Structure 1
Amino acid sequence: MSRFIVDSELSGRVPLADLRRDVTVLVKACLDLTAGLLTGADTTKPLADVRFGVTEWAREGVPVDSMHKAVRAGTRMVFDHLLARAESAADRVAVAEVTRAFFELTSRLATVIAQAYSSETRAAGADALAAALMAGKATPAMARACGVRLAEKYFVFAVAFVPHHAEGESRQIVSPRTVRRVRAEVSHRCGDHALMQMGAGTATLLIPPDHFDPAGAQRFVEHLVAAARTRVRATFVSARGAGIPEAVERVHAVLDLMGRLRRDGLERFEDLSLEYQLSRPGAAGRHLAAMLDPLEPHPILLETLKTYLATRCTRLRTAHLLHVHPNTVDYRLTKIAEITGFDPTHSDGIWRLRSALVARMAGVSERDSADSGEPDQTAPAARAC
């Protein structure tokens, strides 16, 4: 392993720590592949592992000829090692068997390398097409040049990655390797049919309906979480070609709203439509947010209200989460009613307080509706407990 790392051309192009890890994975895959060729076992998985590793190196800027040289260098080292240990006629017969396997091995690796680099070239064109679609500037000629057939309708899927060290921030720059793992997972689930654009801590996908089942969206997000190795926030809507730019704007607004409301995982747009509307700029939203201004001098009461509404107005659960006696929760709810004028133990009060809390957490009061260019909107009721 060490000889390969030192002697190959890769050490000058891939960070050494990453190179050692990648070489370990690839050598193991090649050993599994060789064993499969010798025994007749299935070689699908090791070939897939090799293709994934080669794709990562292609995106690191490793030229294709360096990859082929690396294969030849690795094969030669193993062959020289085996030949030096061959002492008997039986050993030399075994070396001959391995030699035949090596010819097949190098042939398959050459195919995989070509496929990986070809896919990477197509991916670059597909990224440009995705950006054009999301900006409303795509043309059939652009799609043909990328070898992509435009669909009449797409699911517009937006994902925000939430690093563990940045609990309150939804848009962090993620590492190139995380981006590649996510791309590989999307490709594995949707083939070459999904168009993708990566941002600073976000991914926007355009997936044709034939290659995405909304009923399996939760499982799809779980796979993305595993690939990204971090928490995510995700949502999606469907849109036709001309409506894609507006849909992209909407799903990213929902991601921003989820961040403000501290919600992770998958939220369908229709499930957050009321909260989304409450978060829009306008006099109604500002009025709702201001309803909780009297609680600002009482942060304990405000936290109690948030917890109480988050537990669907369950006083025992609220008491457990706040580590207080249920009677203390009752007292605080009474004080909230006295200060705000809305009783959180009655449906009308819950309705108004929840709406006010959503508007406040969405930051409606921080925005200037004059800058937004949107007319004042009447905010609908928030979801009742």
Structure 2
Amino acid sequence: MTSHIAGRSTSLDRAAQALLAEADALARRIVAQLVHELPAYARLPREQLDGDVLTITADGVRTFARLLRSRADRRLPADYLAALSSSAAQRAEEQIPMSDVMRAYFVGAQLSLEHLDMALGPDVHTQMVELIRRTFDYLQEVTAGVADGYARERRLTLGETLSARLQLGNALVEGAPDDAVAEAALLAGVEVAPAYTVVALRVSEDRPGPADAPARRTSESTNAEVIRARLVREVRSHLLGSLDHDVLWLPNYRDALILIPFDPAERRTGLRPRDFDRVSAGLTTPVSAGIATGASAASGVSVAARTAIEVRDLVERLRRKPGCYELADVALEYQMSRPGPGQRALADLVSPLTGERDLRATLQIFIDENRHRTRTARRLGVHPNTVDNRLRRIASLTGLDPTRPHDMTRLEAAMAAALLGS
């Protein structure tokens, strides 16, 4: 038994010595192979390949050799792991994919084993199982160190980029001076567009789901903010994946503002509500949005942002179905949203419906569905004849017949005034 262990140790010692003796030459072969196999490494400057890349590669060969020689501790030295993590962070800064950085260490391990096969032949073959086990020990710690260093740098870079883009978006929305906007754009690496379409986004509280969804939402009520944040992230991921990469996303404006660049000189009018509805069609979470357009100069984006927010909030108060709305869609209601005797007089027209929950719901959906009785019935889950009966009851109580265009216009305004004044 003792002689078997001694023989195994001797074989691994020889393997370690074979790697240490040729560490620098082997490292050069590994770097050459990286340039041949991985285009990302081929793009690095020669002085960098011959500098820090070669250095960390040679250190890796020597560390692997010492791991083979070790009798007990199979953990890699802390100073090597720190250097490896730092090297991975530099590769992240150079925009080399993490998959390529990890593959580089596997390429190094493969060439090291091939070197041992050529240098020692049958002598090392007798301990192949132990050699492979220690190779996996090495690669396990190496990949963890690479992932940690790479991810840390990417988080830092992403955080700085996101912060700069937020600063630019806020400068535009707040109507900052042109020089402040230009400075924020320089930091963000973004060219300021001549104009922006501003979308004020709100995730709907009523989202579709399975039959047990209402009970589940109740049980999750204590985590409402966490759930809402997750929904907003889902919406953000979908929308930003469908829109221009120079789009600016600003959170916390109940729930977000989206600034979408365009150039009027190219005869583009900016994003329209129907365009946004098309982009958001794939969402599983309904959203409501107000939309407005403004030039980036002279506080144009700031004015557009205020308008978009007011439209979105107005649509929410009016309980309109999810979708994207511009000021023209709710111009009458926008004017009526200003308190005064006119608003109160209009609201009084539907005061006879107070307490008549089914009638008010029917009238509101009849308005939302552009006076289409079949769609109204479908949304209410009733027969179209029931809708007709309720409309006649509304006419009897208010003196205004929903089936007559003139009366319906007054009822629509009255319902809006009642909602806005409540």
Query: One fold, TM greater than 0.5?
Result: yes
Deviation of 1:141 (Å): 2.8
Paired with 2:341 and 2:84, the residues of 1 have a C-alpha distance of 61
Alpha carbons 1:221, 1:234 under 8 Å: kept: no
Q: Aligned residues: percent identity?
A: 29
1:145 aligned to 2:198? no
Query: What is the match of residue 288 of structure 2?
Result: 233
- Look up the equivalent residue of 1:206 and give its one-letter code: L
| Count of residue correspondences | 287
Gaps of 5+ in 1: 1-36, 44-64, 167-171, 367-385
SS of equivalent to 1:151 = coil
Paired with 1:318 and 1:75, the residues of 2 have a C-alpha distance of 59
SS of equivalent to 1:233 = strand
CA deviation vs aligned residue, 1:103-134 (integer Å, no higher than 9, x gap): 99999997786455323202112212222221
SS of equivalent to 1:159 = strand
Q: 1:321 to 1:199 in 2, by over 3 A?
A: closer
Q: 1:112 to 1:209 in 2, by over 3 A?
A: farther
1:261 aligned to 2:303? no
- Look up the equivalent residue of 2:248 and give its one-letter code: L
Q: How do 1:218-297 and structure 2 match up within 5 A?
A: 218-222=277-281, 225=283, 230-241=285-296, 242-269=299-326, 270-297=328-355
SS of equivalent to 2:352 = helix
SS of equivalent to 2:259 = strand
- Look up the equivalent residue of 1:263 and give its one-letter code: R
Alpha carbons 2:198, 2:292 under 8 Å: kept: yes
Alpha carbons 1:130, 1:195 under 8 Å: kept: yes
Match of 2:160 among 109, 121, 126: 121
CA deviation vs aligned residue, 1:188-243 (integer Å, no higher than 9, x gap): 444652222111641101121159754642233246x36xxx33212321111312
Alpha carbons 1:159, 1:255 under 8 Å: kept: yes
Alpha carbons 1:154, 1:239 under 8 Å: kept: yes
Name which of structure 1's ranges 117-126 and 307-316 shifts more when overlaid on structure 2.
Answer: 307-316
CA deviation vs aligned residue, 1:90-111 (integer Å, no higher than 9, x gap): 9989x99xx99x9999999977
CA deviation vs aligned residue, 1:301-348 (integer Å, no higher than 9, x gap): 323322433443344554555565655544433332232121112111
- Look up the equivalent residue of 1:232 and give its one-letter code: V
Paired with 2:279 and 2:39, the residues of 1 have a C-alpha distance of 27
Match of 2:362 among 297, 304, 324: 304
CA deviation vs aligned residue, 1:356-378 (integer Å, no higher than 9, x gap): 112223x2x24xxxxxxxxxxxx
1:205 aligned to 2:258? yes
Alpha carbons 2:202, 2:255 under 8 Å: kept: yes
Alpha carbons 2:85, 2:146 under 8 Å: kept: no
SS of equivalent to 2:289 = strand
SS of equivalent to 1:208 = strand
Paired with 2:83 and 2:348, the residues of 1 have a C-alpha distance of 63
Question: TM-score under structure 1 normalisation?
Answer: 0.58
Alpha carbons 2:347, 2:418 under 8 Å: kept: yes
Deviation of 1:255 (Å): 1.6
Alpha carbons 1:221, 1:265 under 8 Å: kept: no
SS of equivalent to 1:136 = coil
Question: TM-score under structure 2 normalisation?
Answer: 0.53
Alpha carbons 2:196, 2:262 under 8 Å: kept: yes
Query: What is the match of residue 131 of structure 1?
Result: 170
- Look up the equivalent residue of 2:193 and give its one-letter code: A
Q: How do 1:309-320 and structure 2 match up within 5 A?
A: 309-319=367-377
- The structure that has the greater radius of gyration is 2
SS of equivalent to 1:196 = strand
Paired with 1:111 and 1:276, the residues of 2 have a C-alpha distance of 51
Match of 1:332 among 363, 371, 390: 390
- Aligned-CA RMSD value: 4.8
Q: 1:149 to 1:311 in 2, by over 3 A?
A: closer
SS of equivalent to 2:193 = coil
Query: What is the match of residue 341 of structure 1?
Result: 399
Paired with 2:373 and 2:231, the residues of 1 have a C-alpha distance of 41
SS of equivalent to 2:192 = coil
Q: 1:178 to 1:106 in 2, by over 3 A?
A: farther
Paired with 2:262 and 2:169, the residues of 1 have a C-alpha distance of 16
